[in-house]
Chain A
Amino acid sequence: MAEEQKREFWRWLESNWVNPDINWRNAQYVTVGIDVGSVSSQAVVMADGQIFAYGNMRTGSDSPNSATNALKFALEKADLPEDKINYLIGTGYGRVNVPMADRTVTEIACHARGANFIYGPEVRTVLDVGGQDIKVIRCDAKGKVTNFLMNDKCAAGTGRGMEVFSDLLSVPIGEVGERSFEVDREPPPVSSTCVVYAKSEATGLLRKGWKTNEVLAAYCAAMAERIFSLMERVGVEPEFAITGGMAKNRGVIDRLKKKVGLEPMKTKWDSQIAGAVGAALFGYALCQKGKGRK
């Protein structure tokens, strides 16, 4: 049941898009970035550094297929044969499993570069909260990383932590954010950082008579605290952007915004493609240096 709901939540995110204003045939270099994350994978196709097409889908159980499928999905509506690609870069947690990649680049570098493109050169701090990790990246006006941390050891604050809670409380993950605000009064945050201990703490709160929504609120607040403490380690400089699946969870993000004291930047693009965009841009830069496929 819970498994079904999780899948449902991610399914609606699957999307692909082609830019009708771009004809790839006029481009000098066609480059592709594929970001294989633990939960979702994105392929972005760029024509001379402009987004031409992308696909965003759920990561399957094996990464090589996920990368191939994401690329096929991105090219589904685009009339572009795969052999016209001049450079392809794999990034993300599953980047070593992108069989057609010319090289790999870390998700840290790609996220900074991609955020610079989709949010604009004013972005200085990028927060990415994914299924299994949290990244906090500071970058300069060129999208070059100046300071970063990535926490992928501990589930606290990640999408996985939230999934555990949605299971525990039998609340579909897509409803967590809204329901966490349907409380009479904001409860104190769950005090345990560790997800295992937070789970027992939450069970105790339910026994004490707390309502499900109150426990959700207390956990969303704890997630916000957790994420904020990691951001403080790197330091937050405006402008500030949030990418990754958690960006869609108001319960965490609205509480986090209050702590940070900054309004996150907005973009017309799907923020989940940031990593893949960065990868495709590095590919473009390498082509310009003469390192592309002949």
Chain B
Amino acid sequence: MLANYGYSDGSGNYFITIDTDMCNGCGDCVEACPARVFEVVDENPHDPMNEEPVAIVVADKKKKLKYECGPCKPASDRPPLPCMEACKAGAISHSW
């Protein structure tokens, strides 16, 4: 499942996509993210019959991703994103 967390508003699209088929629930992204955007839950909330741990975006961060992720996204010379670097499975991507 491609879980797109975030939003689109007049100023742009701000989505973090987690590919739940790739995510193994290891939690490396949770530690790597300075804004604590991720958490690991016991089962995919959007697939309640599947009881495997998976990473999701924390509920109260979803509507603020543009701001939460801001520090990792300087206007120029953007370094690699820590969450994407930490995810060995390559399950995380950003739309902006």
Given a CB threshold of 8 Å, the question of whether A touches B is answered with: yes
**A141 nearest CB across to chain B (Å):** 15
Q: How large is the interface on B (under 10, 10 to 19, 20 to 34, 35 or more residues)?
A: 10 to 19
Report A106-148 residues with CB < 8 Å from chain B CB: 106, 108-109, 144-148
Q: Number of A-B pairs whose CB atoms are under 8 Å?
A: 62
Contact between chains at A148 and B3 (CB < 8 Å):
yes
Contact between chains at B8 and A147 (CB < 8 Å):
no
Residues of B within 8 A of A151 (CB): 7-8
Known: A109-B47, A233-B15. Is A152-B7 also a contact (CB below 8 A)?
A: yes
Q: Is B80 an interface residue (CB 8 A)?
A: no
Known: A105-B48, A108-B46, A153-B7. Is A146-B1 also a contact (CB below 8 A)?
A: yes
Residues of A within 8 A of B6 (CB): 149, 153
Q: Is B2 an interface residue (CB 8 A)?
A: yes
Contact between chains at A145 and B49 (CB < 8 Å):
no
Q: Is B79 an interface residue (CB 8 A)?
A: no
Considering the chains assembled together, what is the distance between the CA atoms of A151 and B95 in angstroms? 14
Report A140-186 residues with CB < 8 Å from chain B CB: 144-149, 151-154, 156
Q: Is B94 an interface residue (CB 8 A)?
A: no
Considering the chains assembled together, what is the distance between the CA atoms of A146 and B2 in angstroms? 6
Q: How large is the interface on A (under 10, 10 to 19, 20 to 34, 35 or more residues)?
A: 20 to 34
Considering the chains assembled together, what is the distance between the CA atoms of A287 and B15 in angstroms? 36
Residues of B within 8 A of A154 (CB): 7-10
Known: A146-B1, A193-B9, A233-B13. Is A282-B63 also a contact (CB below 8 A)?
A: no
A285 is contacted by which of B7, B13, B49, B62 (Cβ under 8 Å)? B49
Known: A153-B62, A233-B15. Is A148-B10 also a contact (CB below 8 A)?
A: no
Residues of A within 8 A of B95 (CB): 233
Considering the chains assembled together, what is the distance between the CA atoms of A63 and B1 in angstroms? 30
Residues of B within 8 A of A212 (CB): none
A-B pairs, top 4 by smallest CB distance, nearest first, are A153-B7, A194-B10, A149-B4, A193-B10
Q: A106-B46, A145-B46, A148-B46 given. 16 additional CB < 8 A pairs?
A: A106-B45, A144-B1, A148-B1, A148-B3, A148-B4, A149-B4, A149-B6, A151-B8, A153-B7, A153-B9, A153-B63, A154-B8, A154-B10, A193-B9, A197-B10, A233-B8
Interface residues, chain A, CB within 8 Å of chain B? 105-106, 108-109, 144-149, 151-154, 156, 192-194, 197, 229-230, 233-234, 282, 285
